[in-house]
Amino acid sequence: MKHPLAPYSDLLEREIHAMQFGKQPLTLYEPIRYMMRLGGKRIRPMLTLLAYSLFKGNVKDIVPYAAAVEVFHNFTLMHDDIMDKAPLRRGKPTIHEKWNLSTAILSGDVMLVKVYEVFSRLEPATFKVTVRSFNACATQVCEGQQWDMHFENASRVSEAEYIRMIRSKTAALLGFSLELGAILADTSENDRKLLREFGICIGIGFQLKDDLLDAYGDPEKFGKQIGGDIIANKKTFLLIKALEKAGPAEKRELKNWMLAARFNKRKKVEAVIRIYDKLKVPNHSQRKADQYFAKAFRLLDLFPESPAKESLRAFTRMLIDRQN
């Protein structure tokens, strides 16, 4: 039996594969096509289509704009991979590894330009509202990424600071994706605000789940290096909570691993995960994620019951239960 969201997925994939970015030089445009065809869950453009369908039925009309959200998302991933020196993305070599650093930067820049080119096809009034919201979102994403990099050298990061960072870096784009659907459906400012906040809540929960999967996920399903955050000493919710709950011995061991210039990656990951398990850090992380997902559902409940709302609820539950 075909999944009820399969028609939306089919529309998105056809649009993404049909997008024209340019032809020459090949070394500028081929990395973009490679990145866009690596797959992925297409969460953000799917949220745009689902939000739109709460108010209108002709989702085909807005597929190009939903696809533009996916282009922006992949642009951020491309530059994020550069900053993180990540070797893999969705189980395949990252752009800077497969080509080179300069190409990855330039190809990413073209992707951002493409987003504005697609949005420029909108009616002037809708374009103005869309770009104002998109610019605010894009700025937040940059702020979140800068906070994330700032945390690398910070001696201490609080839980509140971390939530603020992921609210900007990850959740803002999910919020915009849903708000875009409402903007394109020409609905009220209140509906736009509710959907944006719904997206922010699931975005924070999504990132907290991502932190868990980075340490505890199945490498065959996760598509990225397991324990990558631990190896890179990233201040994830798991590490922040472990440092908060650790006794003197656990804190000393964690800091020794974090300060080590040379180490065996596998041994470091295993040692840190043992500490996480001892302190029951995964349970704390899951509970925090569940709190944000619960808030999201309360916001969704404010909309009238409809098949579209049930689809959005089901899609959100899929995010909660995901393994990659």
Backbone angles phi and psi of 89, in degrees to 5: -140, 120
Q: What is the mean pLDDT of residues 89-111?
A: 93
Q: Which residues share a beta bridge with 88?
A: 93
Please report which confidence band the pLDDT of residue 1 belongs to, taking 50, 70 and 90 as the band edges.
very low
pLDDT > 80? residue 273: yes
Contact 106, 27 (CB under 8 A): no
- pTM equals 0.91
Judge residue 53's burial from the number of C-beta atoms within 10 Å of its C-beta, 0-12 exposed, 13-18 middle, 19 or more buried: buried
Contact 216, 282 (CB under 8 A): yes
Question: Which of 83-87, 124-128, 190-194, 215-219 is predicted with the least confidence, judged by mean pLDDT?
Answer: 215-219
Domains annotated on the chain, with CATH: 6-124+132-321 (1.10.600.10)
Question: Which residue, among 13, 32, 12, 14, has the nearest Cα to 22 in the 3D structure?
Answer: 32
Helix axes 159-166, 237-245, angle to 10 degrees: 180
Q: What is the mean pLDDT of residues 15-19?
A: 93
Task: Tell me the two tokens of residue 262.
Answer: 């040379």
What integer pLDDT is reported at residue 311 of this predicted model? 93
Q: What 3-state DSSP class applies to 54?
A: coil
What integer pLDDT is reported at residue 6 of this predicted model? 81
Q: Which helix (H) or strand (E) holds 178?
A: helix 172-184
What integer pLDDT is reported at residue 115 of this predicted model? 98
pLDDT tens for residues 237-262? Answer: 999 999 999 999 999 999 999 999 99
Percent residues over pLDDT 70 in the chain? 96
User: Which residue type sits at 127?
Assistant: F
Judge residue 302's burial from the number of C-beta atoms within 10 Å of its C-beta, 0-12 exposed, 13-18 middle, 19 or more buried: exposed
Task: Tell me the two tokens of residue 76.
Answer: 């951020």
Alpha-carbon torsion 175, 192, 109, 75, what sign?
positive
Q: What is the mean pLDDT of residues 191-195?
A: 97
pLDDT mean across residues, the chain: 93
Question: Which residue, among 314, 317, 285, has the nearest Cα to 214 in the 3D structure?
Answer: 285
